[in-house]
Amino acid sequence: LAALSHHGIPKATDFFRVEGKDYFVMEFIGGSDLDKIIRRQNNHFDLNLVLDWFLQMLDIVEYLHALPQPVFHRDLKPSNFKLTADGKIKLLDFGIAKSTFNQNFTAEKSLNIATFEFAPLEQLIKASSHVKNSLVFLNATKALELLETKTSASTDIFALGATLYQLLTNCLPPDAHVRALAVWSGKLDPILPLTSYDRDIPADLEIAVLQSLSLIPSD
């Protein structure tokens, strides 16, 4: 975190150890996280406001992914994005971020902390034995492919898609496990199109969101 430099990421200014415990000092970010803002919202947000927030999120994540040693946050969700009083978006909580800076911090040690509703299938199958067993039972070949798939930029893209889906509809999409159980059983994907919540959402935006939420990482 101390090596990162972006206006949307709080700065880490000091690090020290006291009585065997590690601490770091971080820039204070005022404001409210987007999850709390969503909970207070009774109707859809204005589309232009959502897109302003989201373009700021994309700028932060694009910075992380474009680093010489890319950083994958792996826990993107509204509660980890804070909106400041002047309308700026800040990304918090790098607790399970993965990069070549910390290669020993493996997925197995961290993925169970991620929030299921915003996690793609390749992340969920490693985080939950229940998810793993149910998917192996349905299709062992597909499940093993997912188990061998490393978290990457597509992991964050999926989480961004779920975040934008919620911001645009004020509803969470079904989590990836529920969707996979349906699709792998030959049923329709239970995710609803965004226009079923708001007809004014542009078609190209809906297509982009649904593609980001694909169950197949390479998509």
Q: What is the average pLDDT across 79-91? A: 95
How much of the chain exceeds pLDDT 90, in percent? 76
Question: Structure tokens of 75?
Answer: 């826990």
pLDDT at 93: 83
Predicted local distance difference test score (pLDDT) of residue 102: 53
- Of 61, 43, 20, 56, give the one whose Cα is nearest residue 152: 61
| 33, 82 Cβ separation under 8 angstroms | yes
Q: DSSP string covering 133-188, please?
A: HHHHHH-HHHHHHHHTPPP-HHHHHHHHHHHHHHHHHSSPPPPHHHHHHHHHTTPP
Q: pLDDT tens digits, residue range 162-174?
A: 999 999 999 999 9
The pLDDT value recorded for residue 120 is: 94
Q: What would the mean pLDDT of 20-36 be, rounded to a whole number?
A: 92
Query: Please, what is the average pLDDT of the chain?
Result: 90
Return the bridge partners of 25, or none.
14
What is the tens place of the pLDDT at every residue in 129-140? 999 999 999 999
pLDDT tens figures, 149-166: 988 999 999 999 999 999
pTM for the full predicted model: 0.89
pLDDT for residue 104 is more than 60 = no
Per-residue pLDDT at 7 exceeds 90: yes
